[in-house]
Amino acid sequence: MIDVMIIVNGETRCASVAPETTLLALLRDHFGLTGTKIGCDVGDCGACTVIVDDQPVDACLMLAAQADGRRVLTIEGVASKDKLHPLQKAFEESGALQCGFCGPGIILSAKALLDQNPAPTRHEIRDALAGNLCRCTGYAKIVDAVSEVARVYRSEQSRG
Amino acid sequence: MLLAKHGRSAKILAGGTDLLADLKFATQVPDLVIDISRARDLSGIAVTDGGLRIGALVTHSELIASPLIRDMFPALVDAAHSIGAVQTRNVGTLGGNLMTCLPSMDSGPTLLALDARVTAASASGRREFALADLFVGPRKTSLGADELLLDIVIPTQNFGKPAGFQKFGLRKGQALALANAAAIFWMDQSTGRFVEPRIALGAVAPTVIRAPRAEAYLRGRSVTLEAMVEAGRIAATEAKPISDFRASAGYRCDLIAVLVKRALQDALALAQAKQPEAAA
């Protein structure tokens, strides 16, 4: 067994896991954070996207041991106590999700993008979301929602 | 050293994007997985005496973001950007892409055409050799069971050599190359001729390969669109692709002709962009 300590959504958490345990299994099975979804489990679909030290990664392709000592943000840590994150709000308002299974991963990919680049072009948004598959909506509304949040960010910034 | 002790029963984990995906389907699991992802000596991109050194653990995202790489070899940025998606590029490494040694690897062609060299180390010492000699076959490299890839070096004499990389996959993201190609040459400023042209092809042979006949055709010839088209046609005859569920061999050969021509055009655009700089 391997002892790991990771900072999940701001909270330090420890577990003793089998060496082959993925970060995805650690989050879901050991920490009960089931907002991170299991899709393809081989890094194609992005349903398990979480942010590790400011970078979006597929939790299914990272061992729990690789994440030892790192900061991990999951969908459970995106909203503040009483308020949805602007991305979540925009997804809700523009109907960007249907079944919702891809949603947590897409929100985290989009958040990582906007944190690094608050004014992405539509092309940059599509590129940042290329690793997240949605089988319901066809992506247009998803890209619309992210664009809308970026537009609000920009106008807030220009107002100072 | 752990590798010396465990040899083939151990697996190296650099980023893990290939290894973990493979292990999920593996019938035989390794006795030991050695996670080197935090070995700082194997990271970093820097100009050294021997050339531009890229640590084996540099991720595809780090390559894309590197001002040095962007400035010197934008083709390497294009190649890195064509791999997987953001999530895998943030974790997957250059060394890992080379060592997994799929014929369709996107890191290989440009580096091969740039005459890159690699360093490998074991408990008994280090050796440096041409990247071309690393590739043996699909998923097979020349490294011994006790050896670790340390870095990739692009030699100084190729600094600024205009390079182009082209890939064709079935989608823009998350797609393996059906074929890819890199083309690199100096253009003689006074005569407008090809000097030291290099063409490398991916996904159309058991390993990434050079296209020596296409290179020989270009050497000393005037840089024209017609010459580029002909070089692509010749390169397509040097490709030895297989037919599989992704594409037929014939389709891949057709792709090579187009990709080589486009990669040559990309390199030419760079050569022309650099010209006024050289004149001034």
The answer to whether B35 faces chain A, any CB pair under 8 Å, is yes
User: Per residue in B150-177, pLDDT tens?
Assistant: 999 999 999 999 999 999 999 888 899 9
Q: Please give the torsion angle defined by the CA atoms of residues A69, B7, B150 and B181, in that order, rounded to the nearest 10 degrees.
A: -110
Tell me the pLDDT tens digit for each residue of B11-55: 999 999 999 999 998 888 899 999 999 998 999 999 999 999 999
- Name the residue of chain A whose CA is nearest to B81's CA: A127
Tell me: pLDDT of A157 over 90. Answer: no
Of chain A residues 20-59, which have a CB less than 8 A from chain B? 20, 22, 41-44, 46, 49, 55-58
Q: What is the pLDDT of residue B280?
A: 44
| Subunit contact A131:B35, Cβ cutoff 8 A | no
Residue B182 pLDDT exceeds 50: yes
Pairing of strands A49-52, A2-8: unpaired
Closest by CA to B178, choosing from B255, B237, B115, B263, is B255
The residue type found at A120 is P
Q: Tell me, yes or no, if B24 comes closer than 8 A to chain A by beta carbon.
A: yes
Q: How confident is the model over A33-63, as pLDDT tens digits?
A: 999 999 999 999 999 999 999 999 999 999 9
At B102 the pLDDT is: 96
Domain boundaries along the sequence of chain B: 39-157, 161-273
CB neighbour list of residue A152: distance below 8 Å, 6 or more residues apart:
A86
Return the beta strands (E) in chain B as ranges.
Answer: 10-13, 32-35, 45-47, 51-55, 117-122, 125-130, 135-137, 140-141, 148-155, 163-168, 179-187, 194-202, 209-210
Encoded tokens for B77: 């940025």
What is the longest distance spanned by two Cα atoms in chain A?
53
pTM of the prediction?
Answer: 0.95
What mean pLDDT is predicted for residues B196-205? 98
Residue B254 is predicted with a pLDDT of 97
Give the mean pLDDT of chain B.
94
Of the pLDDT bands very low, low, confident and very high (cuts 50, 70, 90), residue A158 is confident
Domain at B161-273, CATH from 3.30.390.50, 3.30.70.20, 3.40.1190.20, 3.30.360.10: 3.30.390.50
For residue B15, the SS3 value is coil
Which helix H or strand E contains A50, and what residues bound it?
strand A49-52
| pLDDT above 70: percentage of residues in chain B | 98
pLDDT, position B277: 53
A19 contacts in chain B (CB < 8 Å): 33
Using CA atoms, how far apart are residues B256 and B237, in angstroms rounded to an integer? 9
Report CB contact under 8 Å: B61, A20: no
Q: Which whole number is the average pLDDT over B195-206?
A: 98
Kindly tell me if the per-residue pLDDT of A83 is higher than 90: yes
Cβ count near B118 (within 10 Å): 26
Helix A86-93 and helix A140-159: axis angle, to 10°?
A: 130
Q: Give me the domains of chain A, ranges plus CATH numbers.
A: 2-77 (3.10.20.30), 86-159 (1.10.150.120)
Judge: A63–B90 Cβ closer than 8 Å, yes or no: no
For residue A153, pLDDT beyond 90: no
> What is the structure's pLDDT at B174?
87
Rounded Cα distance between B105 and B80, Å, is: 10
Confidence grade of residue A12 (pLDDT, cut at 50, 70, 90): very high
Tell whether the model's pLDDT for residue B8 goes beyond 90.
Answer: no
pLDDT at B279: 46
Count, residues in chain B: 280
Task: Tell me what ipTM this predicted complex has.
Answer: 0.95
Q: Hey, what long-range contacts does B170-174 have (CB within 8 A, 24 or more apart)?
A: B170/B246, B172/A130, B173/A127, B173/A130, B173/A131, B173/B84, B173/B85, B174/A44, B174/A130, B174/A131, B174/B84, B174/B85
Å from A152 to nearest chain B CA? 24
E strand or H helix at A58, and its extent? strand A55-58
Q: Which 3 state secondary structure label does DSSP give B245?
A: coil
Is B114 exposed, middle or buried, given 0-12, 13-18 or 19+ CB atoms closer than 10 A? Answer: buried
- Kindly list the residues from chain A whose CB atom is less than 8 angstroms away from the CB atom of residue B35: 63, 65-66
Pairwise CB contact (< 8 Å): B13 & A56: no
What class, spelled out in words, does domain B39-157 have in CATH? alpha beta
Is A61's CB within 8 Å of B21's CB? yes
> What angle in degrees, to the nearest 10, is found between the helix axes of B249-279 and B225-238?
140
Fold agreement between B39-157 and B161-273: no
